Amino acid sequence: MAATTDVKKVSILGKESIHCGFHLIPYIVHTVLTELPASTYVLITDSNIAKFYLQAFETEFDSNLSGLSNGSHARPRFLSHIIPPGEMSKSREGKAVLEDFLLLNKCTRDTVILALGGGVVGDLVGFVAATFMRGIRFCQIPTSLLAMVDSSVGGKTAIDTPHGKNLIGAFWQPEFIFIDAALLETLPPREFSNGMAEVVKTAAIWNDSEFNSLEARSAEIFAAIQTPSTNHAGRSEKTRSKAQELLLSVIIGSISVKAHIVTIDPTEKGLRNLVNFGHSIGHAIEAILTPTILHGECVSIGMILEAELSRQMGILSQVSVGRLTRCLKAYNLPVSLNDPRIANLPTSKLITVERLLDIMKVDKKNQGNDKKIVLLSRIGATHEQKASVVPDSLICKTLSDSVTVVPGVPSFNPVKMTTPGSKSISNRALVLAALGSGTCRLKNLLHSDDTQVMMAALNELKGARFEWEDGGETLVVHGGRGSLSVPTKGKELYLGNAGTAARFLTTVCTLVQKSPTDEVETTIITGNARMKQRPIGPLVTALRANGSEIDYLESDGCLPLSIRPNGLKGGTIQLAASVSSQYVSSVLLCAPYANASVTLELIGGQVISQPYIDMTIAMMKTFGIEVTRRTEKGTGKLLDIYDIPKGSYQNPPEYSIESDASSATYPLAIAAITGTSCTIQNIGSSSLQGDARFAQEVLARMGCEVTQTATETTVHGPPIGQLKAVEEIDMEVMTDAFLTATVLAAVATGKTRIIGIANQRVKECNRIRAMIDELVKFGVDTNELDDGLEVIGKPVNELKKGASVHCYDDHRVAMAFSVLASVIPDTILEEKRCVEKTWPNWWDDLQNKIGLEVKGIELSTASVSPSTPFASSKSVVLIGMRGSGKTFIGELAATALQWTFIDADNYFETANEIGVRQFVHDNGWPAFREAETKLLKGLLSEKSQNHVISLGGGIVETPAARDLLKNWVSSGGIVVHVARNIEEVIEYLGLEGSRPAYGEPVSEVFKRRTPWFAECSSHRFINHVEAFAEGKMVVDPADTKRGVRQEVARFFNHITGVSVNLSQNLTPGRRSYFLSLTYPDIMLALPAIEDLSAGVDALEVRVDLLRSKEEVDPQGKHIPSQAYVADQISALRRVTSPPLIFTVRTVSEGGAFPDHALEEAASLLNLAINLGVEYLDVEMRLPEQTIKQLNARKGFTQIIGSWHDWSGRLKWDSFEAQAMYDVAARNSDIVKMVFTASSMQDNFACQTFSTKTNARPSAKPFIAINMGAAGQLSRILNTTFSPVSHPLQPSRAAPGQISFAQVTKALHLIGDLPAKKFYLFGSPIAHSLSPTLHNTAFDILGFPHTYELLETSGIDEDIKNTINSPDFGGASVTIPHKMNIISLLDRLTPAAKAMGAVNTIIPQTEGGSRVLVGDNTDWLGIRGSIATRIAVGQIHAALVIGAGGTARAAIHALSDLGAKVIYVWNRTRSRAEEIRTSNAEANIQVINELGSWPNGTTPPNVVVSTIPASETSLQDEPDRLVYPNSLFAYRDGPAIVLDLAYKPVETPLLKLAKMTASNWDTAQGVEVLLQQGYAQFEKWTNRRCPEGPVSKKVWEVYHSRA
Ligand SMILES: NC(=O)c1ccc[n+]([C@@H]2O[C@H](COP(=O)([O-])OP(=O)(O)OC[C@H]3O[C@@H](n4cnc5c(N)ncnc54)[C@H](O)[C@@H]3O)[C@@H](O)[C@H]2O)c1
């Protein structure tokens, strides 16, 4: 059988050891057995390959070996061993496994190993062979294309270590390399492309003609591996197909080059470095992206970047870069890091210029610190016969995404240059030559995305054949005479964002004729997302009307289109030509091939861009078809009707494409703006292009000297700063040049009005908007017009430096702003690569031909999340509509912060000695606004610290005041917009008249100011009072009022950092949880919010699930409005204070927010920061810019950087998981990673990953969980912010989510939460409510603990044993042990010390041993009961009745609340005096008579009684204390009386308060008991007590006993 095999042999190192052919297995076995006699043959392969080929080898060996006589020796053995596929096998461990296999099988030195596999098997097995028994023979049988053309040839063998790839290895030459190309038929296509990268590389450095063939024949080469060869076809030359011949020649061609180079330089001393082209940068990329992105894919990008480097150095032409790019793309290889396959990877965020340069330091080619890179000089040749030294600065420039131009005088002044071929002419010429008959050589063709897309599409339609000549300077088009076919199945014409191609090809596709062999019925044209928004409607309408069958596959009026192959009918075609002249050109170009001659009538008003139509007609004439434009009889006036005869284009042998006139505007404009001179060759007055008029019609009018011959244009600019504005210029005939004119107008003296360019709104981007938005960054004002814009010029030195220009992926925006950058320092042009469309080497030409230095800038440097800022004492400014509650909120805020409140109106009156109203009356509004602004300036400098400043509603009316506010924000200050529903404002203002009236409807004022308030503020406080769900009020207004007070305190304390509202349980060693609220309307959750939030540390608002009634969308995907979200958050805030997590979960991460709505997501996340939300979930898949921006302004909001994988693809032990963690850790305060579990094992992997990562120094809090039922264990084990659900909720936020109580129970079951016993020590305690309180709470939260009574009259053995028992969880202590117990404790808290009494024992572990801590929460109970009714700092005076332990607690609480004076009354005065002396720092006054206060003082607004109610009365009774009415003399505001007695339900004191004073609130002892119990509970368990349900239960029991 082997005899019928034809192999081609390639020699390496003087030996013909590379044998190539098809279906070689019998040949290989035969050759090995005859040429390499051995005792043992060991075949090693991976499991993927074994599946296909191992059996064939086994059978072949068995049959050959069985035939061998065994003579005196044992018959040779055949052994095989299978390793796991993938790079992981290429390790020290993998090597050891193989060695053990060989040793175990007693393999000796005469063993021959066969490495059957890709590069992994080849490298590993080769290295084993090199060292086993000091080296044994081996053969390479590569199965992947990469291994065939690269890794198997040259004798390099190696394994990887965690320090890097291929770091340990040897040169060890195989005896034979058998290349069986039939093995490629099972190779996955992506692996084939991976290998093609190396093939393309080899041709690029060595062999031009080989490259030509690769470039032209990609489809055939792919076909060769995609069509299975049956019956061993190809084994002999006779049976070999054309495709097989081609494939083999490609492989052999590549191998031969490598073999040649290896033979000259076997150990990589110089020449062999050439095969490293693309690898210096490629390897660095691979180091970051491996294993997700394959070696060849990284090298492909590396080749382009290294080619660009060469171009930048003036060594390589753009033509070659373009060809290389197109060729790699043809093999489905990525050519830029922006390729979606890479840009969408989490790891791609780790690619930074700095990191790449750092990795490149470790490269065997380098000379010390100098990096060496293989520089291409043309396709098929390198600059040197080795790698060349390249400075880091140049590499950095190539790698960076953005550039900056160093302003100055162009060093090549006077500049003389040509610009790239015109895009319009290139595209037209391509269509004409492709449709024509004969061969046409196109010269100066633009090598750009547009032309490339056009060529690829024409190729796909089999409309023409293309070839390159002169190293790619000339494109040879073999015309197809208008014969076109439907592309093959599965192929769509993908046009990216190439507008011209889309327009032209739409009509071209209608020319396609049906053929019986067509597999598909229609031609589909599609493009990228932006392309799918650009209009094509008028053209499609016209073609449809003419009988073509065209369908829109997505949105009407846009691509993608499906076009039936019916040919173009012809006759009269009516076309609306007011949007794009390209529609007209499209029809004109194809019209000769219609079935009948065409009369094209342009309708629908003014025809746009006539010069482009004229250009098409002129070019058609050159290709032999004459179009006639009709004229009006009599007048001779030109009509918009064209007659096109039937016919076929005759290709001229050569057609030279004019340079691009739009591109020429940039160098000319640089001459204009820098006061220098520039000549553009190849464009003059005879040009076909409208933009050729730019010099005469724009630059000359702006003050430049312009000379134009038929073929050349020269511009000499006036001295810098002397360009003149053009009052009005209609640029309709040169629309593309308007961007250039706009940037010049920005520095011209006066206002320039540019019109006639409305169509520029539907180009690559909305260009008018883009120019306006970007000019703002330079401080240049503009006005948008219906069909253009006005630019108000400014002197050059007044433009802002350092603007970072977003280019909208639009080449013209980038190039136009580079003109401005040539005079404005530090301007950054983002997305430098967008110039590829028309002038790919613009930045190189700017430096190398014009002489302005261009530097690389990296925008995406690792966005390190700033750590939480320090608390700021910078004053807070409040703005908002009059009547929005600024004063009310401001006073509360000042109280909460303990800062000073200033009302600017009052301040104004004091400062100006005149009321605001009067001032306006006397001086008018403008004068008032001026004075107000001045006052604001003064306030911000004089009261810059520790003030809350409320400003007048109209402050935002003047730009100067707005600037002051914006500056305040940008310098780290806080400006809060107090927002209130406008109806409420109007109602409120109706009642109020002390301030000047508006003189216009309030709603108008509101409309005007709203955007200003937003623009000037950093935060927003929503101040409406009601919360409605389904039209019903859901929260008691009294609760809301209290809620507002609490919320003001929380909001201002948090945003200033004075007291942040973050969870304490995020520290190591503690557990924290959050509840996901999954309601469409959170109001529905409010009544049960207490129950829902039991146990958790935070509440997550799933913003993506919010839906207002009006916004309900059956599709599920939806974007809630900002207003609705803000209302929801503020309503929630009024009833509950745990920190919120604000989450906008996208569809691809398991939520409902549309993935593509990136801007909307960013604005919602920004809204959350404005609303003072504590935690912000930011998906790490969001654009880098958004993540950076949020980090930059987050203040005290913490960012949770999250990743969610639903596919189950991601594994915790993968490199990717590590990279994802690193990305999130860099960009956030808390890391969240959620994968999907398929087995229990995944939970252990998750746990191992998080334990390892948490052990890192300064590790961030880390949420690591698995979704799905199989992942529940991970939710239990996770310690940080475990998401939990609640049975009361309508739905769970994610599959596998369990409730807090379930988690607690589970933790107990797995032994992580032992059951503890808690006690009450005291006597008598039989009726205590404490057991009810604590046991209810334990039960609700799922804790296994119990709370019981331990009644003893003294501190006895019982108590001692109890507190020393290991299951002792803690105790409450009451009368009579509060003081005596202290002797048993190790330590007291400051509060317990201050009161000299303990009511709570907390066992704690300190330094490894258990200590008992005595605390006192009685005072917290009292404090809590008062603070919910009266704000801190609002207690003028308080009265405490009694002088026992509880009175001490009351005094402690009152001083903490800032009571200005505390009166104490006690029957025995001396005990009251004792209290006074032991609380020296509080202002205590002992009084003799209850109800009488020192003269001239305000009576107390807080009264606390600590004596038993049974000893008091309202009437004169013996031995009873009688309360006088005067206790409640205070009537001016909120006041509270607290009776600490439990019985009766209404004590005499409370009764008296209710009878005498309506402003007095009352609170019973049970409330204090509850409050102190909550505090106790939290201290014992680190969990907030579920107050709502617990208090309900306690009150129930209390009332049932009363
Ligand atoms: N020694 C050198 O000079 C040199 C040069 C380049 C690359 N390398 C090394 O080569 C390795 C990469 O080689 P690779 O790309 O071949 O990777 P590989 O060996 O991992 O093969 C790629 C994948 O394709 C599968 N596969 C291979 N052939 C197949 C076939 N015929 N049918 C079905 N599946 C098939 C493999 O099982 C694997 O999953 C890297 O480790 C790299 O460092 C070495």
State which of 89, 140, 146 you would mutate to test the pocket of ligand 1, scoring each by most atoms of that ligand within 8 A of its C-beta. 146
Q: Which of 260-274, 428-442, 1283-1297 has the highest mean pLDDT?
A: 428-442
| Rounded Cα gap, residues 282 and 204, in angstroms | 16
Q: Which residues are catalytic?
A: 268, 283, 834, 1204, 1232
Atom of ligand 1 nearest to the CA of 144: 28
Of ligand 1's listed atoms, the one at least distance from the Cα of 166 is 43
Q: Whose CA is nearest to atom 13 of ligand 1?
A: 119
- Would the CB of 90 count as within 6 Å of ligand 1? yes
Interior/surface letters 171-192, b for 16+ CB within 10 angstroms, e for the rest: ebbbbbbbbbbbbbeebeeebb
Any ligand 1 atom below 6 A from CB of 154:
yes
Say how many Å lie between the CA of residue 209 and the centre of ligand 1: 27
The average pLDDT across 1125-1152 equals 91
- In short, whether 187's Cβ falls inside 6 Å of ligand 1 is yes
- Ligand 1 centroid to residue 86 C-alpha, Å: 8
Q: Is the CB–ligand 1 distance for residue 123 below 6 Å?
A: yes
Q: Which pLDDT value is given to residue 988? A: 73
Q: Locate 264 and state its tokens.
A: 């000259």
> Would you tell me how many other CB atoms lie within 10 Å of the CB of residue 470?
11
Which DSSP string corresponds to 242-262?
HHHHHHHHHHHHHHHHHHHHH
Pull the structure tokens for residue 759.
């169509």
Strand extents, DSSP E, 973-1072: 974-979, 1019-1022, 1028-1029, 1032-1033
123 vs 1094: CA distance, rounded Å:
59
Q: Is 140 in the pocket of ligand 1 (CB under 6 A)?
A: no
**Residue 2: pLDDT above 50?**
no
Q: Hey, which residues does 83 pair with through a beta bridge?
A: 46
272 labelled ligand-binding: yes
- Asked if residue 766 belongs to a known ligand binding site, the reply is no
At 575, list the tokens: 């076309």
Query: Tokens 């009251």 correspond to what residue?
Result: 1472
Closest ligand 1 atom number to CA of residue 47: 37
Output the pLDDT for position 860. Answer: 47
Residue type present at position 318: Q
Q: Does the annotation list 165 as a binding residue?
A: yes
pLDDT (0 to 100) of residue 1033: 54
Residue in this structure with the two tokens 């073509």, named with its chain if needed: 548
pLDDT at 1030 over 60: no
What mean pLDDT comes out for the span 213-241? 86
- Strand spans (E) along 268-414: 371-373, 376-378, 381-382, 388-390, 402-405
Distance, CA 144 to ligand 1 centroid (Å)? 6
Specify the residue with its C-alpha closest to ligand 1, atom 12. Answer: 119
What pLDDT shows up at residue 1032?
55
Asked whether the predicted pLDDT for residue 1558 surpasses 90, the reply is no
Does ligand 1 come within 6 angstroms of the Cβ of 1260?
no
CA distance 1339 to 1279: 21
pLDDT at position 552 over 50? yes
Would you state the pLDDT for residue 598? 97
Does 428 show up as a binding residue in the annotation? no
- Biggest CA pair distance of the chain: 131
Give the Å distance between the CA of 153 and the centre of ligand 1. 13
Give the Å distance between the CA of 1022 and the centre of ligand 1. Answer: 61
Beta strands, E only, 1316-1443 = 1317-1322, 1346-1351, 1368-1373, 1387-1388, 1400-1406, 1409-1415, 1437-1441
Least confident of 132-146, 380-394, 541-555, 1211-1225: 1211-1225
> Atom 18 of ligand 1 has which residue's CA nearest to it?
118
Q: Where are the alpha helices (DSSP H) in 681-840?
A: 694, 738-746, 767-776, 811-821
Mutate to test the pocket of ligand 1, among 45, 87, 120 (most ligand atoms within 8 A of CB): 120
* Residue among 1140, 1127, 1128 nearest 1075 (CA): 1140
Rounded to the nearest whole angstrom, what is the distance from the C-alpha of residue 147 to the centroid of ligand 1? 6
Q: From atom 34 of ligand 1, which residue's Cα is the shortest distance away?
A: 187
Q: Are strands 1512-1513 and 1521-1522 parallel, antiparallel or unpaired?
A: parallel
If DSSP codes are grouped into helix, strand and coil, which group holds residue 1428? coil
Q: Whose CA is nearest to atom 42 of ligand 1?
A: 119
Quick check: helix, strand or coil at residue 767?
helix
Residues 1383/1394, Cβ–Cβ less than 8 Å = no
CB-CB contact of 1201 with 1227 (8 Å) = yes
125 is in an annotated binding site: no
Q: What is the mean pLDDT of residues 855-868?
A: 57
DSSP 336-364: STTSHHHHTSGGGGG--HHHHHHHHTS-T
What Cα–Cα distance (Å) separates residue 1069 from each residue in 1066, 1108, 1253, 1254, 1408?
Answer: 9, 41, 15, 11, 13
Distance 117 CA to ligand 1 centre (A): 7
Atom of ligand 1 nearest to the CA of 120: 19
Distance CA 1356, CA 1544 (A): 32
Q: H/E element holding 478?
A: strand 474-479
Q: What is the pLDDT of residue 1014?
A: 92
Residue 522 and residue 487 in contact, taking contact as beta carbons nearer than 8 Å: no
Q: Which residue's C-alpha comes closest to atom 3 of ligand 1?
A: 151
Tally the residues of the chain.
Answer: 1602
Q: At residue 1468, does pLDDT exceed 70?
A: yes
Q: Is 1304 in the pocket of ligand 1 (CB under 6 A)?
A: no
pLDDT digit string, tens, across residues 1425-1438 = 898 888 777 898 99
Q: Is 123 annotated as a binding residue?
A: yes
Does the pLDDT of residue 837 top 90, yes or no?
Answer: no
- Establish whether residue 143 lines the binding site of ligand 1, counting it when its CB lies within 6 angstroms of any ligand atom: yes
- Average pLDDT in the chain: 90
pLDDT surpasses 60 at 1597: yes
119 C-alpha to ligand 1 centroid (Å): 4
Which protein residue's CA is at the shortest distance from atom 16 of ligand 1?
A: 118
3-state helix, strand and coil shares in percent for the chain, rounded to the nearest 5: 45, 20, 35
In this prediction, residues 1085-1113 reach a mean pLDDT of: 86
Q: Is the CB of 699 under 6 A from ligand 1?
A: no
The per-residue pLDDT for 568 is 95
Mean pLDDT of 313-334: 90
Quote the pLDDT of residue 19: 97
Condensed to tens digits (0 to 9), the pLDDT of residues 1251-1267 reads 998 887 778 999 999 99
pLDDT given at position 1222: 85
Distance from residue 187's CA to the centre of ligand 1 (Å): 10
> How close is the Cα of 167 to the center of ligand 1, in Å?
17
Q: Is the pLDDT of residue 1055 over 80?
A: yes
Q: Does the annotation flag 1360 for ligand binding?
A: no
Residue 160 Cβ inside 6 Å of ligand 1? The answer reads no
Between helices 886-897 and 1037-1056, what is the axis angle to 10°? 60
Label residue 1145 by pLDDT band (50, 70, 90). very high
**Does any ligand 1 atom lie closer than 6 A to the CB of residue 1219?**
no
| Res. 792: pLDDT tops 50 | yes
- Work out the average pLDDT over 490-519: 86
3-class state of residue 1233 by DSSP: strand
Query: From the CB of 166, is ligand 1 less than 6 Å away?
Result: yes
The answer to whether 119 is annotated as binding is yes
Q: Answer yes or no: is 295 a known binding residue.
A: yes
pLDDT at 1098 > cutoff 90: yes
pLDDT of residue 1036: 58
Lowest mean pLDDT among 989-993, 1387-1391, 1480-1484: 989-993
User: Which of the four pLDDT bands, split at 50, 70 and 90, describes residue 993?
Assistant: very low
- Can you give the pLDDT at residue 864? 41
The pLDDT tens digits of the residues spanning 641-658 come to 999 999 999 999 999 898
Going by CA atoms, what residue is nearest to atom 5 of ligand 1? 151
Instruction: Specify the pLDDT at position 215.
Output: 82
Closest ligand 1 atom number to CA of residue 165: 43
The phi-psi region of residue 831 (left if phi > 0; otherwise alpha if psi is between -120 and 50; otherwise beta) is left
Does residue 741 surpass a pLDDT of 50?
Answer: yes
At 516, is the pLDDT very low, low, confident or very high (cuts 50, 70, 90)?
Answer: confident
Does the annotation list 999 as a binding residue? no
